[in-house]
């Protein structure tokens, strides 16, 4: 999601929030704790994923990144600026972890389904680490579950689509 604020006649500021991995890809700079802007390279982005996003995700926190960008207007109409221009070369300013607690009846409902011979599956747009943590809390996966490359217990969308397409083709 993006919003544009007119700063003055010649400048606007775009604020963007969204999935951390998406915003990181669109960011080329980052604001440090002291307010200084520095380059956000691939190594730093990976470090943020490893040291911020993954630990949040393992605690079942969904992350949202917040970024901004200044745009010179020079008489341009904000409505006519493309989404690509608005949401490219951003300055990452924050990552927030958000808790979306399970409803209390979910683990019991999962146990009942399993007792009736129903295999429970969860479909989510979360990154795998968040999905695993939530699935463990819900009783869909066992505590201590470890994801392996050849396991079908947790699939990202791209892998799921490839499997579905390969089944449909053959």
pTM for the model stands at: 0.72
Q: Using alpha carbons, select from 134, 127, 14 the residue that is nearest to residue 66.
A: 14
Q: Which fold has domain 106-169?
A: Rossmann fold (3.40.50)
Q: Give the pLDDT of residue 39.
A: 97
CA of 168: how far to CAs of 2, 79, 120, 121, 152, in Å?
37, 42, 23, 21, 18
Stretch 19-48: mean pLDDT: 95
Largest Cα span, the chain: 66
Stretch 37-47: mean pLDDT: 96
pLDDT in tens, 67-106: 999 998 877 777 777 888 889 999 999 999 998 889 999 9
Has residue 134 got a pLDDT over 80? yes
Q: Where do the domains of the chain lie?
A: 2-99, 106-169
Q: Which CATH class for the 2-99 domain? A: alpha beta
């Amino acid at each position: 999601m993006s919003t544009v604020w007119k700063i003055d006649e010649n400048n606007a500021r775009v604020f963007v929030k969204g999935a951390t991995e998406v915003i990181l890809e669109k960011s080329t700079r980052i604001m440090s704790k002291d307010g200084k802007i520095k380059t956000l390279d691939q190594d730093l982005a990976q470090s943020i994923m490893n040291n911020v996003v993954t630990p949040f995700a393992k605690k079942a926190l969904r992350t949202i990144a917040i970024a901004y960008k200044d745009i010179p207007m020079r008489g341009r109409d904000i409505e006519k600026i493309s989404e690509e221009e608005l949401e490219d070369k951003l300055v990452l300013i924050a990552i927030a972890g958000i808790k979306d607690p399970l409803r209390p009846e979910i683990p019991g409902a999962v146990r009942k389904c399993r007792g009736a011979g129903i295999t429970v599956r969860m479909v989510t747009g979360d990154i795998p680490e968040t999905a695993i943590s939530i699935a463990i809390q819900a009783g869909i996966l066992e505590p201590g579950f470890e994801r392996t490359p050849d396991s079908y217990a947790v699939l990202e969308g791209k892998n799921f689509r490839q499997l579905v397409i390969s089944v449909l083709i053959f």
